[in-house]
A and B are shown apart, each in its own frame.
Chain A
Amino acid sequence: MTSSLTIIEQQTAINHNRIERGLLLLAGFFLSVNFLGLALLQDTNIGHWLHFVTWLGCAVSGHLILNRYLPRRDPLLFPVVMLLSGWGLILIDRLAPIFADRQTVWLIISLVALLITAIFPQVLRWLRIYRYILLISGLILLISTILLGRNPSGFGPELWLGIGNIFFQPSEALKIMLVAFLASYLSEQYLSLRADNKMSRFAGRFAWLSPRIVGPIVLMWSLCVVILLWQQDLGTALIFFAVFLILLYVATGKTFIILSGIGLTIMAAFVAYQRFSVVRLRIDIWLNPWLEADGRAYQIVQSLMAFGAGGIFGQGVGQGSPDYIPVVHSDFALSAVAEEWGLLGVITVIVCIALLVTRGLRIAAAHQERPFYGLLAAGLSSLIGIQSLLIMGGVLKLVPLTGVTLPYLSYGGSSLLMSFVLAGLLLRLSAEVRST
C-alpha cells in the first residue's frame, strides 16, 4: 500500500519536474529572442547579455534546488514568476537602462528569498506563532516611514526608507506581514467565527456585532485611513482594505462583510474626493482625461496611445515608443508590454497573473482542515490579484489610477523581493497539500 503510494508520488514529482522544465524552457527561449532583438537595435551592450545570463542562472538553479527540496510543489508557479520577472528585466533594459543592473541584483536577492521561504518549513510556523511581533514590527515600519520617509528621486510621495543609496519601500513588506498576521489571528478565531452561525436566531442575526469581527474591521479601516492621510498612498490603502475584507469573508462566510466594506469604501471615497487633491485628480482624469491630455492626464493618455499603437501583435521589442509615458518602467509596465508585444503580450501577462491567483485559491481550498494555511494562501493570492487588477485597470483607464506596481513585471526592488517571498510562501503551501 505505502510503496505503491510512493511510486505514484514519485511519478507525479517527475511529471511536475517535466512540466516546470518545459515551461521554463519556453520562457527562456522567449526572453532570449527578445534580448537578441534588443541587442540588435541598441548599441551592442555586454550588460544586456549579463542580465539574461543572470536570469538563466536564477531559473536553472531555482528549478534544480526546488526539485531537490520541494518535489511536491505546484509546477506552474515558478515558471510563471520567472517569465514575468525576466520580462521585467527586458523592459528595464529597454526603457531605463540605468536601473537595469540594480534590478538584476534585486532578482538574485529575491530568488534567494524565494528559496528560503519555500524550503524551510519553519517559516510558516514562525509566521503563525510570532504574529504579534509581526504586527508590531509592521506598525513600527509604517510609523518610521511616516516620520523618516524619503523619495529616491527627491520629490513626490515619501514612501521609502533609505540607507545610503539603497532604498526600500516598507509598504511592500507590510502587505505580506499584515496578511500573515490576519491569517494567523482569524485562524485562531476560526471556530468561534464559524460557530456564531449556529447560535440562537437572535444572536445569529447580530453575531456580526461581536467585537471579534467589528474590532479588526475598525482597526484595519483606521490603519488604511492613516496610510491615506499621512502618506497619500491611495493604492496601498485600497489593497490593504480589500485584501482584509476578502480574508474576513473567507474566514466567516458572511456576505454582510463584503457589502459593508463596499459601503465604507464608497464613503471614504466621497470624503477623500472632497478633501484631498490627489484623489480628486485621479478621479477627474479617470472620468475624462481628454480635457487635460497635455497636462495632468498626460500619463494616462499616453498609456492609452501605447495600447492603441501596439495592436494585436505589437511593434516588436525596442521598436515602439512607450518612452512617451512618464515613468513607464514602474507603474506603466503593462503599457510598454502592450505597445511592443501587443494584445498577445497583454493576454499572456493577464493569464500569468490569473494563474497565480487561481492556483493560490486552489491551494487555499485544499487546506480546508488547516485554517491558517488556507487563509494565508487565500490572502496572498488575493493580494496579487487585487494589486494587479488595480494597476492593470488603472493604465487601461478602467478604474482610477492608483500608483502601485505590477507584481514581478514592474521595476522596483522591494516590490520584486516581496512578490518573490509571496511566491515562495505559495510554493511551500502547495507542497503542504496532502494528496488524497
Chain B
Amino acid sequence: MTIDIVLFGLRVISGLLLTGFLTAILVILWRDYRNAAVAVHVNRRIYGQLVALTQIENIYAETGARHPLLPITTIGRAPTNDIVIQDTFASSEHAQIILRNGQWWLEDKGSRNGTLLNGDPITTPIIITDGDMISIGSTSFRLALS
C-alpha cells in the first residue's frame, strides 16, 4: 500500500521534471532566437536609395526608377558610373555619394554645371539626409533612407 503511494509520488515527480526540462529548453531556445533577431537588426546595413524624379510644370513626380546606394556611388554621364544619367548638362563624372561613419555625404567631382542640393549649388562635401533633393542638370533624385 505505502509502496504504491511512493511509486505514484515518484511518477508525479518524474513527470514534473520532464515538463521542467522541456520548459527550460523552450525558454532557452526562445531567448536564443530573440537575441539572434536583435543581433540581425543591429547589424543590418544602413540602406539608402535614390528615387529618380521628373519635373512636370513645377511639380516633381517619381519616374519609378530607384537606385540603391553603394558605399561609394558615382553619378555621371559616362557608362562607368554606378548611376548613369542621360543629360547633356551632366559631366561624364559628375558627383558621388559616399557612406562615411554611418552618414551619407554628397560630393561634387568638379563638374561643369554643378550639383544642387535642395536647389542650392554645393561647393564642399555635405551630409545629406532623408528627403533631400539632389539635382544634376535637369535630372533630380530624392534621397530615401530606411
Contacts and interface: CB of A to CB of B under 8 A. Distances in A.
Interface of A: 19, 22-23, 26-27, 29-30, 33-34, 36-37, 40-41, 75-76, 80, 83, 313-314, 316-317, 319, 341, 344-345, 347-348, 351, 355, 436
30 contacts: A22-B24, A23-B24, A26-B20, A26-B21, A29-B17, A30-B17, A33-B10, A34-B14, A36-B10, A37-B10, A37-B14, A40-B3, A40-B10, A41-B7, A75-B28, A76-B28, A76-B29, A80-B25, A314-B15, A316-B7, A316-B10, A317-B11, A319-B7, A341-B18, A344-B15, A345-B18, A348-B21, A348-B22, A351-B25, A355-B29
B14 A341 contact: yes
B59 interface: no
Interface in B11-44: 11, 13-15, 17-22, 24-25, 28-29, 39, 43
B18 A344 contact: yes
Interface of B: 3, 6-8, 10-11, 13-15, 17-22, 24-25, 28-29, 39, 43
A256 B15 CA distance: 45
A436 B19 contact: no
Top 4 A-B pairs, shortest CB-CB distance:
A30-B17, A316-B11, A37-B10, A33-B14
A155 B37 CA distance: 55
Contacts of A29: 17
Contacts of A33: 10, 13-14, 17
Given A40-B3, A316-B11, A83 B21 contact: yes
Nearest to B23: A26
A37 B21 contact: no
A27 B10 contact: no
A34 B10 CA distance: 7
Given A30-B21, A314-B15, 5 more contacts: A26-B17, A30-B18, A33-B17, A83-B21, A313-B15
Contacts of A23: 21, 24-25
Contacts of B29: 76, 355
A364 to B, nearest CB: 15
B3 A344 contact: no
B22 A347 contact: yes
A85 to B, nearest CB: 15
